[in-house]
A = this chain, B = another copy of it.
C-alpha cells in the first residue's frame, strides 16, 4: 500500500526496489564527461537501421533487453512496461518495444518521462497489480531536431540558451528485489511561467523543478541535507542557475546537493552544446549509467531524481502559446544492510 502524504505526493509502504537498469548513449554522448559510464556507446547514429526513427526505437529495444538480461530475467517475467518518448505519437517506444509483447502503458511526459515511468512502475508494483514493471525512454538528436526545429541539412545556428537533444536511452526494472528502494514520489503539476522561447527550455522548466522539489521537501518534512544528491533532468546551465535562485528565494539551498543531467552529460567547452543536454534519454541514461550504479555500490545513500519536461509542440508555439512544463520526482534510497 502507498501512503498519501499530500496532493500528488506519496510514500510507497512496500518499498519497491530497483532490480536492474541499463543505459545506451550515442557517439557524442560517449565522448562527453560521462562516456565511460554508459553500458553501450553506439557510434552509428542510425544504429544499423535505415531511418533515425527506427534507430531510436532500437535504442529502447536494446536498453530494455539489456536490463532484462542483467536481472537474469526473461521478457515474460516483466509484468508491464511504462514507456514514452518525444517523437510524435511516441513511435520510438511503440515500435521499439513491440516485439517484447509485455503489457504496455504508453506515457507522455516529454523529458520527464523516466521519472514519470518510475512513479507509475513503483505504484503498480507497490499496489500488487504487477510483480515487476519496466520504465523505458529514449531520445535521438536527429529525430528531435528535425521534428521540433529545422531539417538537419539546413545547418541552422544555435542560440546561446539552446540545449542539445541527447541520443540516448535508459531502462529500469522495478520489482521487490535489489538494493535500491523507491521510497516515495511526487507527481508534478503543470507549470507555465509564460516562457515562449523554444530555444530556452531550461528557463521554462526551472520553475516546475523548483516547485516539485519544494513540495516534496515540505510534505515529507525533509531538508536538502537529508539527501546526498538532488538530481534534475535536463535544465542545462541556465535552467540550473534559475532553479537554485528560485529555491533560495524560498529559503531552500540545494546548491551542495544539486546535479543536473543536462549539465553533466556534455562538456560545453569542447562539445559546442551551449547550455547542455536535453531529451528524454538525457536524464534516463545519466540516471541508469551514473547515479543508480553509485547507489548500488553504496557511494551515495539517498537521492531525489526530478526529471523535467516541456509539454509544448511546434504547433502550440506557432499558435502563440507559452510553454507548459512539468517535473516528476522519485525518492531513491540504498537499502541499509
Residues of A with Cβ closer than 8 Å to B?
Answer: 1-4, 7-8, 10, 12, 50-51, 53-54, 76, 79-80, 84, 86-91, 94-95, 97-98, 101-110, 116, 119-120, 123-124, 126-131, 186-190, 192, 311-316, 319, 321, 324, 326
Asked if residues A129 and B4 are in contact (CB atoms below 8 Å), the reply is yes
Closest to A323 in B: B94
Determine if B130 and A10 form an interchain contact, defined as CB atoms under 8 angstroms apart. Answer: yes
Contacts of A192 in B (CB 8 A): 98
Chain B residues near A313 (CB-CB < 8 A): 87-89, 91
Is A103's CB under 8 angstroms from B4's CB? Answer: no
In the assembled complex, which residues on chain B have CB atoms less than 8 Å from the CB atom of A131? 4
Q: Which residue of B lies closest to A12 (CB)?
A: B129
Nearest-Cβ distance from residue A115 to partner chain B, whole angstroms: 11
Q: How far is the CB of A22 from chain B (nearest CB, A)?
A: 20
Q: Tell me whether A127 and B321 are in contact in the complex, defined as CB-CB below 8 angstroms, given that A8-B80, A109-B106, A189-B103 are known contacts.
A: no
Flag if A2 contacts B84 (CB, 8 Å): no
Which one of B1, B10, B98, B110 lies within 8 Å of A190 (CB-CB)? B98
Determine the distance from Cα of A25 to Cα of B98 in the docked complex, in whole angstroms. Answer: 33
B8 touches A79 (CB 8 A): yes
Q: Can you list 17 A-B contacts with CB-CB less than 8 angstroms, sorted by A residue number?
A: A1-B1, A3-B129, A4-B128, A7-B76, A8-B79, A12-B129, A88-B88, A88-B314, A89-B312, A91-B311, A91-B315, A105-B109, A106-B311, A107-B108, A120-B120, A123-B123, A123-B129
* A321 contact set on B, CB distance < 8 A: 95
Is B101 a contact of A189 with CB atoms below 8 Å? yes
A130 to B187, CA, bound (A): 10
| Main SS class of interface, A | mixed
**A129 and B97 in contact, given A89-B312, A189-B103 (Cβ under 8 angstroms):** no
Decide yes or no: A4 and B130 within 8 Å by CB, A90-B311, A104-B189, A324-B94 being known contacts: yes
Least distance between A11 CB and chain B CB atoms (Å)? 9
Query: CB distance B2 to A128 under 8 Å?
Result: yes
Question: Quick one: which of A94, A95, A109, A123 has the most chain B CB within 10 A?
Answer: A94
Alpha-carbon separation in the docked complex, A128 to B123 (Å): 9
Q: Does the CB pair A8–B103 fall under 8 Å?
A: yes
Is the CB–CB distance between B89 and A311 below 8 Å? yes
By a CB distance below 8 angstroms, the chain B residues around A103 are 7-8, 186-189
A80 nearest CB across to chain B (Å): 5
Cα A321 to Cα B91 in complex, Å, equals: 10
User: Of all chain B residues, which has the CB nearest A124?
Assistant: B123
CA distance A116 to B127 in the complex (A): 17
- Contacting residues, chain B, for A88 (C-beta < 8 A): 88-89, 313-315
Q: Please report the C-alpha to C-alpha distance between residue A168 and residue B314 in the assembled complex, in whole angstroms.
A: 23
Given contact pairs A4-B79, A130-B4, A187-B103, A315 touches B10 in the complex (Cβ within 8 A): no
Tell me, rounded to whole Å, the shortest Cβ–Cβ distance linking A7 to chain B. 6
Give the distance to chain B from A268, nearest Cβ to Cβ, in Å: 27
